[in-house]
Amino acid sequence: MPFDRKLNSLGFDRAPADTRVVVAMSGGVDSSVVAAMLKEEGYDVVGVTLQLYDHGAALAKKGACCAGRDIHDARRVAEAMGFPHYVLDYENTFREAVIEEFAEAYLAGATPVPCIRCNERVKFKDLLATAKELDADCMATGHYIRRKLGDMGPELHSAADPNRDQSYFLFSTTPEQLSYLRFPLGHLQSKAETRALAAKYGLPVADKPDSQDICFVPNGNYASVIEKLRPDAASPGEIVDLSGQVLGEHRGVIHYTIGQRKGLGIGGLGDPLYVVKLDAENRRVVVGPKEALSTRMIPVREINWLGDEALTSRSEWHVLAKVRSTRAPRPAIIRPISETGAEVELIEPEDGVSPGQACVFYANEGSRIYGGGWIWRGR
């Protein structure tokens, strides 16, 4: 005889107590609230924190997500809420999969986004595999993004609060991963709601500040990290204009980014000049007027496509595209050239588009994310 059995809040047709969920705990307020919330709902919660780099060095660093004190904070939350907590040493994996590529990308004149690679190659790959080994039914994180069930299966949607939305950093989440992941905070309207929940649960991290930096880059100083990893990286070279005329000397390509105007050391030349290209091979920083930064055509590769139809099923896709995490998505046309490559045309040009950044695709209406890819060469 058919019967209607209500699914629990994580989408399983069983009692929360019979549903094991691994919570990826960074030690911050977001993932701590997720763990506490699920524990209060009666789920079989297991907290897991990744040690991603040297513990001793991490203890002396503030403002990052995976420092030693954060491991301690995650453990305190688990003890307070009464669920098991494990710390996994992923230093070697993190160095090989994230830090080394970060260094190589910078040396090649790109502007990488290591947080995306960390989600893709460590948290949603190795950690997710560990969750399955622990016989968990799913893995939950504190990311501000939503997972919805559509006609073709789970879909990725931007967070209810656009100021907290983290979809730019999660575009490479695959359909298989999405079927296993849960994002319990994506529906919240503000970070204030999250902190109110932390206070409600009496969490020791309720007032902990948000992390700001990339976890292995102290104070946002990318160049110092690259110099430690590659001591020969700061080789000086020429600053040239678009015609190749030498205007000055720089102290290493790694110290410059596309769109930079200040700190070039070539003042007094008339109109302001901006970095428009980094020619790492020839150790040249190319500068030009602001209009030279404008880009409309963007080659994108390593596309992770989350649409219901194959990317190559159409010659064009009209979407919204975001080329930087801090910018709103804008109208664009995707023209596929393979299952993982495309030319993206921005309807209105954008300044400062840089190789190494992500280009993320959104539906023209609604909140759905169609995936994205990596911008891979200069204009």
Q: Give the three-class secondary structure for 173.
A: coil
The answer as to whether 229 is a domain residue is no
| Residue 239: band (very low, low, confident or very high) from pLDDT cuts 50, 70, 90 | very high
Q: How far apart are CA 263 and CA 252, in angstroms?
A: 13
Query: pLDDT (tens digit, 9 = 90+) per residue, 319-371?
Result: 999 998 888 999 999 999 999 999 999 999 998 888 889 999 999 999 999 99
Residues 87 and 196 in one domain: yes
184 in Cβ contact with 37 (< 8 Å):
yes
pLDDT at 5: 60
Q: Of 55, 54, 47, 53, which Cα lies nearest the Cα of 76?
A: 47
In eight-state DSSP terms, residue 133 is: H
pLDDT band at 268 (very low <50, low <70, confident <90, very high): low
Could you tell me the maximum CA-CA distance found in the chain, to the nearest angstrom? 84
Whether 128 and 24 map to the same domain: the answer is yes
Mean pLDDT of 153-167: 95
φ, ψ at 231 (rounded to 5°): -55, -25
pTM (two decimals): 0.88
Q: Do 188 and 323 share a structural domain? A: no
State the catalytic residues.
Answer: 118, 215
Same domain, 54 and 202: yes
Domain count, the chain: 3
Distance CA 149, CA 141 (A): 18
| 193, 111: one domain | yes
Domain shared by 348 and 276, yes or no: no
Q: Is the model's pLDDT at 62 over the cut of 70?
A: no
pLDDT at 212: 67
Give the pLDDT confidence score for residue 198 in this predicted structure: 94
Higher local confidence (pLDDT), 301 or 65: 301
On whether the CB atoms of residues 162 and 325 are closer than 8 A, the answer is no
Q: Is residue 278 included in any domain, yes or no? A: yes
Which residues make Cβ contacts (< 8 Å) with residue 79, sequence separation at least 6? 85
Shared-domain flag, residues 275 and 305: no
**Residue 224: is its pLDDT beyond 60?**
yes
**Residue 321 and residue 369: Cα distance in Å, rounded?**
10
Note whether residue 273 is domain-resident.
Answer: yes
pLDDT score, position 120? 87
Looking at the structure, do residues 191 and 312 belong to the same domain, yes or no? no
Q: Distance between CA atoms of 48 and 230, rounded to whole angstroms? A: 32
In this predicted structure, the answer to whether residue 372 has a pLDDT above a threshold of 60 is: yes
Tokens of 49: 């924190």
Q: Is residue 169 part of a domain?
A: no
3 occurs within a structural domain: no
Q: What percentage of the chain reaches a pLDDT higher than 70?
A: 93
Highest average pLDDT, of 1-5, 64-68, 176-180, 324-328, comes from 176-180
The order of strands in the sheet holding 44-51 is 85-89, 44-51, 20-24, 138-140, 181-182
CB 106 within 8 A of CB 226: yes
Q: Are residues 204 and 331 in the same domain?
A: no
> Do 188 and 304 fall within a single domain?
no
pLDDT over threshold 60, residue 63: no
* 264-273, Cβ contacts within 8 angstroms, sequence gap of 24 or more: 264/239, 265/239, 266/239, 273/241, 273/247
Give the pLDDT of residue 251. Answer: 84
DSSP β-bridge partners for residue 318 = 333
In this structure, of 47-56, 281-290, 368-377, the range with the lowest mean pLDDT score is 47-56
Residue 150's pLDDT band, with cuts at 50, 70 and 90, is: very high
The pLDDT mean for the chain works out to 88
Residue 86 maps to which CATH number?
A: 3.40.50.620
| Nearest in space to 41 (alpha carbons), one of 182, 195, 210 | 182
What one-letter code names the amino acid at 337? I
Q: Is 201 helix (H, G, I), strand (E, B) or coil?
A: coil
The residue with tokens 């575009």 is 171
- CATH number of the domain at 348, please: 2.40.30.10
Is residue 193 included in any domain, yes or no? Answer: yes
- Residues 328-355 as b/e (b if ≥16 CB within 10 A, e otherwise) read ebbebbbebeeebbbebebeeebbbbbb
Could you tell me the CATH number of the domain that includes residue 241? 2.30.30.280
Alpha-carbon gap, residue 198 to 203, rounded angstroms? 5
The DSSP annotation for 284-303 comes to EEEEE-GGGGEEEEEEEEEE
pLDDT digits (tens, 9 = 90+) for 74-99: 999 999 999 999 999 888 888 888 88
* Contact in structure between 186 and 144 (CB atoms under 8 Å): yes
22-55 residue pLDDT tens: 999 999 999 999 999 999 999 999 999 998 876 4
Instruction: Examine the domain organization and report whether 299 and 284 are in the same domain.
Output: no
Per-residue confidence (pLDDT) for residue 56, from 0 to 100: 45
60: pLDDT confidence band, cut at 50, 70 and 90? very low
The token pair that represents 134 in the structure block: 């622990």
CB-count burial class (<10 Å; 0-12, 13-18, 19+) for 282: exposed
- Please give the Cα distance from 6 to 14 (Å, whole number): 8
Counting DSSP H helices and E strands in the chain, the numbers are 10, 17
pLDDT tier for residue 170 given thresholds of 50, 70 and 90: very high
At residue 86, φ and ψ (nearest 5 deg) are -125, 145
- In a domain, residue 188? The reply is yes
Q: Could you tell me the residue range of the domain that residue 190 belongs to?
A: 16-142+184-219
Distance CA 88, CA 68 (A): 12
Name every residue whose Cβ is closer than 8 Å to that of residue 2 and which is 6 or more positions away in sequence.
none
Residue 272 within any structural domain of the chain: yes
What is the distance between the alpha carbons of residues 326 and 322, in angstroms, rounded to a whole number? Answer: 9
- Average pLDDT estimate for 184-201: 94
For residues 248 and 317, membership in a common domain is answered with no
* Contact predicate 137/126, CB 8 Å: no
Q: What's the CA gap between 276 and 258, in Å, rounded?
A: 5
